[in-house]
Amino acid sequence: AEALIAAVRERIAAGTSAAHERRSQGLLHYDADAELVSLALESLAATRGAEAALELLAEVGTAGTLAVALGARNVTTDEILALVPERGGLLALAPGYQTDHLFLVDADGIDMVRVDDAHRLRTARKALARAHRGLISSNGERSRTFGEIEARASEVAGRLFDEATAARLASWERATIVGLDAWGDAPVEWLPVAGERLGARMELAFAPSLPVAAHLSAGASLGVSDVGLLCALVPDAGPAARAAFPSASALADATDVERRMLPPGAAAARGLRDEAATLDALRAAFGTPGDARVMLGHGVTTGSGAPALLLHGGTQEDGLVTAAVVRELDAPPLVVLASCESSRS
């Protein structure tokens, strides 16, 4: 165990100083490193228990891109337990090359579940992700698409959750999912537990990694009182939507979305609605002081395949906000773009 831990920490040190993209889970995106971490987790759990293994997973998270950018430090078990939602639990997946490990943390304690045949699970997760992306271009055949997603989600859940894990999850009212990109773009909220989708059965929250979750929950380096919520979701999807995506419609009420999504501690949301939601207005809003921007919008996929948010007051040319557009803005260190799953709400 000691030799494996030392090897993992050597890779963490190399990862935090590397110039390549690390993403939120850092080492876990590379097969050789993921397998090294998997072996270390297995050894630690056998010799010191699941708690020690979870602490190592948290340490691995310090090599993630966002953790490095925020300066998030490693966290203790007590800090991890503080992240567990009331009447719920925390779910973290540590992918390996041959074996995955699933961590469950709730009032009953910390447990690590070994998931064998990681290759087949990865294949199943990729199939689920492909089926989910098909919603965007389903051309009205939504019932067939939903059926395929449900079938793929059932396969993933069957491989990932044994009977005891499924029963434990079924008792939760809330769950925090850690390391979402480690799930391989598969929509976790679709995974069935006790015959019902996770997203319908319980409230879900997502955290890039344990260090980042602890860092943000403490309010460190992120002035939550100065978070700007830019909301471009409107009752009428606007000229950009009608021109580029004739079938698009926005059904949610913008005021209600702002109220629900306002970060804790933020005094107010700065909404961009209706004809006021233009690219020029977005530039002006991004230029105001603040540590972060959260923009909610109606989501589509552009002709080039890039995901985009629709602005109501724009034209077909300037009404689509992609990551490339955000890079050209006077943006703060953290920008979150969130959208619905298809151009049909």
Q: Are 231 and 47 in contact (CB under 8 A)?
A: no
The burial class, CB within 10 Å (0-12 / 13-18 / 19+), for 108 is: exposed
> Hunting for tokens 């380096």 — which residue is that?
221
The 8-class DSSP code of residue 263 comes to P
pTM: 0.68
**What's the pLDDT score for residue 243?**
54
Pairwise CA distance, residues 191 & 177, whole Å:
12
Pairwise CA distance, residues 345 & 343, whole Å:
6
The candidate with the shortest Cα–Cα distance to 311, out of 258, 262, 243, is 243
**What's the pLDDT score for residue 237?**
47
In terms of DSSP bridges, do strands 292-301 and 228-231 run parallel, antiparallel, or are they unpaired?
parallel
pLDDT by position in tens, the chain (length 345): 888 888 888 887 776 555 344 444 555 666 678 888 889 999 999 999 999 999 999 998 888 877 887 788 889 999 999 989 889 999 999 888 888 999 999 999 999 999 988 888 888 988 888 887 776 554 445 555 778 888 999 999 999 999 999 999 999 999 999 886 677 667 888 899 999 988 888 888 888 889 888 887 775 433 333 444 444 443 344 454 455 545 444 444 555 555 555 544 444 455 566 667 777 877 777 776 666 676 766 676 666 667 777 776 555 566 778 888 888 887 766 777 776 643 333
Token couple for 1: 């165990």
**What's the pLDDT score for residue 77?**
93
**What's the pLDDT score for residue 266?**
47
Pairwise CA distance, residues 122 & 117, whole Å:
9
Token couple for 238: 């606007």
Count of C-beta atoms within a 10 Å radius of residue 235: 14
| 3-class secondary structure, 178 | strand
Token couple for 46: 């056998």
**CA 74 to centroid of chain Cα atoms:** 20
Q: Report the phi/psi class of residue 66: left, alpha or beta, with left for phi > 0 and alpha for psi in -120 to 50.
A: alpha
Q: Are 282 and 269 in contact (CB under 8 A)?
A: no
Which residue intervals of the chain are DSSP H helices? 2-17, 31-47, 50-61, 65-70, 77-81, 118-133, 142-160, 163-170, 198-201, 210-217, 238-244, 254-261, 279-286, 323-328
The candidate with the shortest Cα–Cα distance to 239, out of 127, 318, 147, 140, is 318
Pairwise CA distance, residues 105 & 111, whole Å:
7
In terms of DSSP bridges, do strands 320-321 and 334-339 run parallel, antiparallel, or are they unpaired?
unpaired
- How many residues would you count in the chain? 345
